[in-house]
Amino acid sequence: MSILVDLMAHAVDEGYAAAAQRKASTVMLEPDGQSADRDSSTTVRGDPARRWGRGTVSAAIVLALAGALFATAAVETHRGDAAAKRDKRQLVQQVALQTAAADALQRQVASLSTQVSKARDDALSVTDRDGALRAQLAALELVDGAVAVEGTGVRVVLDDAPSSHAAGSDGSGVIVDSDLQRAVNGLFVAGAQAVSINGQRLTTQTAIREAGGAILVDYRPLSPPYTIDAIGPPTLGADFLSGATGELFSTDHLLYGLGFTVDDHQRLTLPSAANVVVHYAQPLESP
C-alpha cells in the first residue's frame, strides 16, 4: 500500500527531476541581462519560419525575373508582328502601283497599235489595189493574236482542289503551268483558232511558265481559277472533252477534286495581244 501512496505523491521519477534541475542550472545570462539557453538560441537561428521567408523571397525574385522576360518577349513579338504587317502593306501597295502602271502601259500599247494599224491600212489602200495583202495580213493577225476576235467557242475553267479535299501527294490537286499548257494544246488539237487565259490573248510566242508558285502568261502573273476561252467550231467543246487532255482532267477532277468545267458559248470575244513582236519584215516595193 505504501508503494501506491509513493507513486501518487511522486509522479515524476526523482532521477528525471534531478536532471531537470541540472539543466536549469546551466542557463547563462546574456550581456544585456536577458537569459538565453545556448541550445534554444541555436534553435532560433534555424527557425523554419525564417527559412520559409527566405524561400518565399527567392521564389518571388525568380517569378519577377521570369515575368520580365516573358513581358520583354511579348513586346518584341508584338513589334515583329507590327513590322511584318507594315512590310506586307508596303509590298501590297507597291504591287498595286506597279500593276496599275502596267495596265496603263498596256492601254497605251493598244492605242498605239490601233494607230499603227490605221496607218498601215491607209498605206495599203494606195498600193494594194485588189486587197490581197490586206486579206493575208488579216489572216495572219488572227492567228498571231494581233487583233481582237469573236465567234462561237468554249470556255474551260481550271481551279485548284478545295483545301478540304484530299489532294495527291504529287500535287495533283493544284493547277500548275504544265496543266495550262496541256489544256491550251488540247484545245488547239480540237480545232481552236484563238485562245486566251484570264483575258490574256495567246500568240505563237506566248510563254506559260511558273515562278515562285505563280503561273505567268507572257510574264504576267495569274491566279486561280484559270478561265480559258477558245474560239472554234461548234464541236470544239465535245472534241476537247473526248480527247486525251479532256479525259485526263476529268479523271483528276474525280480523284483529286480538281476544278474542271467545259461550257459551250454561242459568242465569245477575245482581246488582242498586247506584245506582238514582228521579227522579220521588209519594206513594200514602190508603186
Give yes or no for residue 23 having a pLDDT over 70: no
CA distance 230 to 228: 7
pTM of the model: 0.59
- How many angstroms separate the CA atoms of 18 and 98, rounded? 106
Secondary structure of residue 17 in the 3-state scheme: helix
SS3 56: helix
Give the position of cell 480559258: 228
**pLDDT recorded at residue 264:** 94
Q: Which domains, and CATH codes, for the chain?
A: 2-45 (no CATH), 148-270 (3.30.70.1880)
Q: What pLDDT, on a 0 to 100 scale, did the predictor assign at position 101?
A: 87
200-234 pLDDT, tens per residue? 899 888 889 988 778 998 888 888 999 999 999 99
* Average pLDDT score over the chain: 77
Task: Please indicate whether residue 276 or residue 65 has the higher confidence score (pLDDT).
Answer: 65
Three-state DSSP state, 215: strand
Going by pLDDT thresholds of 50, 70 and 90, the confidence category of residue 25 is: low
Nearest one of 192, 187, 196, 181 to 240, comparing CA atoms: 187
Residue 284 has a pLDDT of: 64
